[in-house]
């Protein structure tokens, strides 16, 4: 015949187990959520890579154009100086040479001007791509922030549920013998939130290994707490509860 005290203690352990299983699962989910948020952040940051590259490309085009504008200004100054020198030249040979030099500088200036105009075209194309990419990034940022808030709200909700479960747990704990509670919590800690399981036919409800006939009889007798020889979980017969 089942021991009344053991049966009462087992009922309390089963109540604790239901609560602790939920707490364990909730805590496992909470441990995963920060990783999920970080993964979302990394995913969003990767979306900005193309935009950053485009902005860097625009800066390079602008820097090259500034250098070209400096070169063109230098050419203009050289041409102006050469034109001034024309009035001082005495011979036709020197005059012809100077004219040739000026034409060469003008040709160089035209090449620089062409490069500057092309740089404006390049900059306009890149700027158009930047504007388009900014819209894409803005959309991705909204998705990221919306999902981040969902995760944060979920975490708050789960933390609230855990606190409620812990409050309920504290109502049961004083009703469990201290030594039994220590034994239960030791198994709970090492078995990932599962310390008490029912016997299913002739197998353990925790590891599903076959139980010896003697163990089955001891569990049914419920004269003491019986642990599975394989997984160490505390076993009980549902017929006794």
**CB-count burial class (<10 Å; 0-12, 13-18, 19+) for 157:** exposed
In whole angstroms, give the CA distance from residue 197 to residue 191: 12
Give the pLDDT score at 2.
Answer: 54
Give the pLDDT score at 99.
Answer: 95
Give the pLDDT score at 1.
Answer: 46
CATH of 28-153, one of 1.20.120, 1.10.10, 1.10.287, 1.10.3470: 1.10.287
Q: What are phi and psi of 208, to 5 degrees?
A: 65, 25
Residues of the chain predicted below pLDDT 70: 1-2
Distance of CA 195 to the CA centre of its chain: 33
Q: Are the CB atoms for 212 and 229 separated by under 8 Å?
A: yes
In whole angstroms, give the CA distance from residue 203 to residue 215: 10
Q: Are the CB atoms for 25 and 193 separated by under 8 Å?
A: yes
At 241 the three-state DSSP class reads coil
Write the CA distances from 61 to 50, 65, 110, 170, integer angstroms: 17, 6, 19, 68
Q: What are phi and psi of 10, to 5 degrees?
A: -65, -40
């Amino acid at each position: 015949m089942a021991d009344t005290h053991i049966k009462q203690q087992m009922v309390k352990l089963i109540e604790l187990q239901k609560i602790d299983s939920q707490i364990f699962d909730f805590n496992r989910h909470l441990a995963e959520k920060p990783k999920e948020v970080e993964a979302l952040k990394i995913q969003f940051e990767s979306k900005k890579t193309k935009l950053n590259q485009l902005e860097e490309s625009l800066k390079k085009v602008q820097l090259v154009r500034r250098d070209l504008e400096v070169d063109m200004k230098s050419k203009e100054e050289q041409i102006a100086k050469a034109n001034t020198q024309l009035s001082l030249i005495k011979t036709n040979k020197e005059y012809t040479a100077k004219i040739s030099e000026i034409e060469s500088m003008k040709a160089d200036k035209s090449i620089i001007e062409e490069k500057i105009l092309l740089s404006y075209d390049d900059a306009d194309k890149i700027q158009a791509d930047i504007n388009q990419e900014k819209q894409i990034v803005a959309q991705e940022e909204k998705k990221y922030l919306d999902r981040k808030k969902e995760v944060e709200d979920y975490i708050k909700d789960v933390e609230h549920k855990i606190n409620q479960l812990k409050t309920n747990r504290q109502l049961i704990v004083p009703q469990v013998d201290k030594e039994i509670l220590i034994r239960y919590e030791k198994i709970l800690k090492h078995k990932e939130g599962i310390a008490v399981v029912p016997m299913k036919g002739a197998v353990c409800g925790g590891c599903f290994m076959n139980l010896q006939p003697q163990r089955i009889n001891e569990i049914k007798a419920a004269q003491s707490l019986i642990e599975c020889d394989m997984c160490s979980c505390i076993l009980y017969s549902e017929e006794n509860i």
